[in-house]
Amino acid sequence: MKKRLVLFLALMLTLVTGVSALTTTTASAASDNSLAKVQKKGTLVMGTSPDYPPYEFQATVHGKTKIVGMDVAVGQKIAKDLGVKLVVKSMSFDSLLVALQTGKVDMVISGMNPTPARRKNVDFTHTYYQGGYSIVINKSDKGIYKDKDSFVGKTIGAQTGSTMYNESKKQTSGTTVKGMTSVSDLILALQSHKIQGVAMEKPSAQAYVANNKELAAIPSHFDLSASDTSASAAFAKGSTSLVKAANKSVDQIKKQDLVNKDYLPAAGKYLKTNTVNTSMLHYWKAFLTGVEYTLIITVCSVFFGFILGVLLSLARMARGGVFKTALRWLATAYVEFIRGTPMMVQVMFVYFGLGLIVNLPALTSGIIAISLNSGAYIAEYIRGGINSVDDGQTEAARSLGMSSGATMRYVVLPQALKNIWPSLGNEFITLIKDSSIVSIIGVSELIFQSNIVRSDTYRGVAPIAVIMVIYFVLTFTASRLLNYFERRMQHD
């Protein structure tokens, strides 16, 4: 099962849990109305990370991209049995549990393994699927490797932080275990003979083998307890009534073996349609969506960041009075703090942290976080720009009777902006690239879209090459445009 645990994510989780424990658990433990709430809403929001076929992945159905897979089928069954509509929300695997705890989603089904650590934070249903591990190898090596023990002196790859990764380390000797974040990357490494095998879940292995003639699967023979290879649906802690209702569906799925009989074959069909045409051109819509979102985020963030930057820079230059001094200190502290923390953490904090108070969509959260971040940097550019305007300009304006506000607005700022235009342009171009960070909260910008195309098509490099070109075209066009405007301003 996937169990990637980036350190700060764990921290984030603890933090959010801590805060939410203070604010919400008391209420939900006392009276569990989780089931009633979902039924009243009429929708069950399922969070999933659609880069893990055949569990969940994106497929193009009648020209529209859709999240499909056996987990979605499980979710649909649960929703149907509850008499509500299923809404699927995609986000990175790392963000799923936090999203659950902060109420962004009602349920998480994402090939998730109910480990004791996770059980501390969320409630799980019964197991709906019992998996196992295979090792994928190159077909040409078929005679050489039999199971995990045949890789002495060789290298096995596995997803970093996953159960497979840990078990491969524990249960082999003389074998190097190489970790990578995505399965697509691992397959790529396998095909270029950097590694000799990839440990992954059986259904995934089957999907890869079915879609790539060069590959073959062998049993792993890892010694594992059942709970290490099982998948369950997760709900917020304390939603007993909801879990109980979902368990009814899960038990039915188990009893009738729906996963193997219906869900996996159906997922396989989608995979086939996906991989019939793996040319990048076929996925132009996915990339276009990526470009759209990347540009929306960048343009909005620069716009709001600029406004915030102007306000912050003015606040940082306020002099006199207790109020103004306090304002100055606040603005300075803000700028220092933002510049001293990673944008990724800020994005997570806005989405999940603010999410405790107001439920903001991922795109809005992303724009807010990046604007807040960008504002701090732009404030410093503007401050520099204002300081670069000769004092004589201010004196001339003041001597004409203009107030300090009017002087700033009509005389100093226009000149300051002209001076810092190149820096602002650079900030814009940087943001085109850095906006990719919001992919972690599931905004479908370029990086997020390329990861989806990668897992959908089983092609590791082509989508990366495509977005590299797209990014370059975007930044190059932007810098040409900015240069053009800069030259026009110089003529004045």
User: Which residues in this chain contact other proteins in the complex, by CB under 8 A?
Assistant: 390, 392-393, 395-404, 406, 410-411, 414-415, 418, 492
Rank residues 116 and 401 by Cβ distance to other proteins and give the closer one. Answer: 401
Rank residues 95 and 407 by Cβ distance to other proteins and give the closer one. Answer: 407
Rank residues 176 and 419 by Cβ distance to other proteins and give the closer one. Answer: 419
Phi, psi of 360 (to 5 degrees): -100, 140
Closest C-alpha to 113, from 18, 223, 45, 201: 201
Is-contact 69 50, C-beta < 8 A? yes
Is-contact 232 111, C-beta < 8 A? no
DSSP per residue over 224-261, as a string?
--GGGGEEEEEEETT-HHHHHHHHHHHHHHHHTTHIII
Structure tokens given for 230: 């099982």
Where b means 16+ CB within 10 Å and e means fewer, 35-50 reads beebbeeeebbbbbbb
Residues 251, 127: Cα–Cα separation, whole Å:
8
Closest C-alpha to 204, from 220, 192, 193: 220
Least distance in angstroms from the C-beta of 418 to other proteins: 6
Least distance in angstroms from the C-beta of 472 to other proteins: 34
Rank residues 411 and 441 by Cβ distance to other proteins and give the closer one. Answer: 411
Is-contact 57 271, C-beta < 8 A? yes
Least distance in angstroms from the C-beta of 492 to other proteins: 6
Least distance in angstroms from the C-beta of 185 to other proteins: 52
Least distance in angstroms from the C-beta of 409 to other proteins: 9
Residues 453, 433: Cα–Cα separation, whole Å:
19
Rank residues 410 and 472 by Cβ distance to other proteins and give the closer one. Answer: 410
Rank residues 359 and 404 by Cβ distance to other proteins and give the closer one. Answer: 404
DSSP state of 442: T
Which region, left, alpha or beta, applies to residue 221 given φ > 0 means left and ψ of -120 to 50 means alpha?
A: left
Rank residues 202 and 418 by Cβ distance to other proteins and give the closer one. Answer: 418
How far from 224 is each of 163, 260, 383, CA to CA, in Å?
10, 21, 60
Structure tokens given for 255: 């009893």
Least distance in angstroms from the C-beta of 103 to other proteins: 50
Least distance in angstroms from the C-beta of 380 to other proteins: 22
Least distance in angstroms from the C-beta of 10 to other proteins: 53
Rank residues 417 and 462 by Cβ distance to other proteins and give the closer one. Answer: 417
